[in-house]
Amino acid sequence: MLPQPRLPRRAGRRTNLALLTLLAVAAATGVLAYGVGTPGPARVVVAVHGAAGLGLLLLVPWKTVVVRRAWGRAAGTRGSAALLGVLVALTVVSGALHVAGLAQPAVLQVHVGAAVGTVPLLVLHAWGRRQRPRRTDLSRRTLLQAGALAAGAAALWGAGEAVLRVAGAPGAGRRATGSLERGTDDPAAMPVTQWFTDSVPDGAAGSLTVVSGARVATLTAADLDRGDRVRAALDCTGGWFAVQDWAGVRLDRLLAELFDDDLPGGGSVDVVSRTGYRRRLPLRDAGALLLATSAAGRPLSAGHGAPVRLVAPGRRGFWWVKWVERIEVVDAPWWRQPPFPLQ
């Protein structure tokens, strides 16, 4: 029988802490990546997310030794530990396939589902092996090792990006958020997707109601066709994006015309769909928001929000409310809402 590799207990503890840290960073940046739509910050978040995931691979040899050493003493938790390992591996593999641009959009759904499944198992696993902080956790040697791990993870991420570009993989052309292009300048080719709690409404569309305090205005979709245009990328959290020339009316222009510029200096605007779906945005951003009735010179289809949808450049797709039925100027701050829609 071959001799078992030896690993000092201190090294085993450091390995577990490093794994826990990388998993926590990957989870936090994964959630944050869904909310960040501007290219600069999104690129940083996605890069850190990917590097944290690949960094797990660097710790596999050490974790293998830790598992071998503890396997005989953990008979009661072997099942949950094995399942946790499988889900982490599935998360990493599916994430790599998504980055490569393969098997979309199913592979992204697997990636997110597996990642969500690891959370309760990871909490259970870590809770049963609680470690008290030690002075050595911040020693020079430990910090150097952490820096080496971070550098190695970043190098793996950079090497992977280079391989994708050299190989000409579909993922090489993905957006900073990680999304792949689908249907630019061709709205009919864009996937029809919506937030998982929402659905395409039945029946004919009604009018649009705009409210500011006690003042109310009622408009039709034709009233919104003012010729204002913006070229913007609809970046869906389903893993795709499409750039279109959207046309309609700027929200700040519409509010100024309806209410004679008599609007509060602060506040927010609630944008509500016929389905009850809603998002609240800062009133100061109204100049960048468009109520669109067409894309690429063609009227919106029902699946893409006809007759009116919100266009919110720099924000992910769940901010682009479809089938807009009501807009209300409110005093409440825009951030006083769930970061992701719950309805």
Q: What is the DSSP string of 174-236?
A: --TTSPEE--TT-GGGS-----TT--PPPS----EEEEETTEEEEE-GGGG---EEEEEEEEE
pLDDT at residue number 1: 45
Pick the range with the lowest mean pLDDT from 120-134, 197-211, 253-267. 120-134
pLDDT digits (tens, 9 = 90+) for 176-229: 999 999 999 999 999 999 888 888 998 767 789 999 988 999 999 899 999 999
Pick the range with the lowest mean pLDDT from 91-100, 127-136, 146-155, 223-232. 127-136
pLDDT at residue number 73: 63
Residue 47 pLDDT level (bands cut at 50, 70, 90): very high
> Between 261 and 17, where is the model more confident?
17
Q: Rounded CA gap, 307 and 333, in Å?
A: 28
pLDDT at residue number 91: 94
Number of C-beta neighbours around residue 146 at 10 A: 16
> Between 320 and 34, where is the model more confident?
320
Secondary element (H or E) of residue 310: strand 309-311
pLDDT at residue number 206: 76
Round the average pLDDT of the chain to a whole number and report it: 88
pLDDT digits (tens, 9 = 90+) for 236-259: 999 999 999 999 999 999 999 998
Pick the range with the lowest mean pLDDT from 130-134, 281-285, 292-296. 130-134
pLDDT at residue number 13: 78
Mean pLDDT, residues 134-143 taken together: 76
**What whole-number percentage of the chain has pLDDT above 90?**
63
pLDDT digits (tens, 9 = 90+) for 100-113: 998 888 899 999 99
pLDDT at residue number 7: 53
Packing angle, helices 9-35 and 140-167, rounded to 10: 50
pLDDT at residue number 70: 67
Residue 165 pLDDT level (bands cut at 50, 70, 90): very high
Domains of the chain, start order: 9-178 (no CATH), 181-330 (3.90.420.10)
pLDDT digits (tens, 9 = 90+) for 315-327: 999 999 999 999 9
Mean pLDDT, residues 165-172 taken together: 91
pLDDT at residue number 126: 77
Mean pLDDT, residues 5-33 taken together: 81
pLDDT at residue number 188: 95
pLDDT digits (tens, 9 = 90+) for 73-94: 665 567 788 898 899 999 999 9
Residue 2 pLDDT level (bands cut at 50, 70, 90): very low
Q: Residue 133 corresponds to which tokens in the numbers above?
A: 């902080």
**What whole-number percentage of the chain has pLDDT above 70?**
91
Flag whether pLDDT at 66 surpasses 80.
no
- CA within 13 Å, CB half, 114: 21
Q: Rounded CA gap, 342 and 277, in Å?
A: 9
Q: Rounded CA gap, 10 and 206, in Å?
A: 67
Which of these, 292, 284, 290, 343, lies nearest to 318 by C-alpha position?
Answer: 343
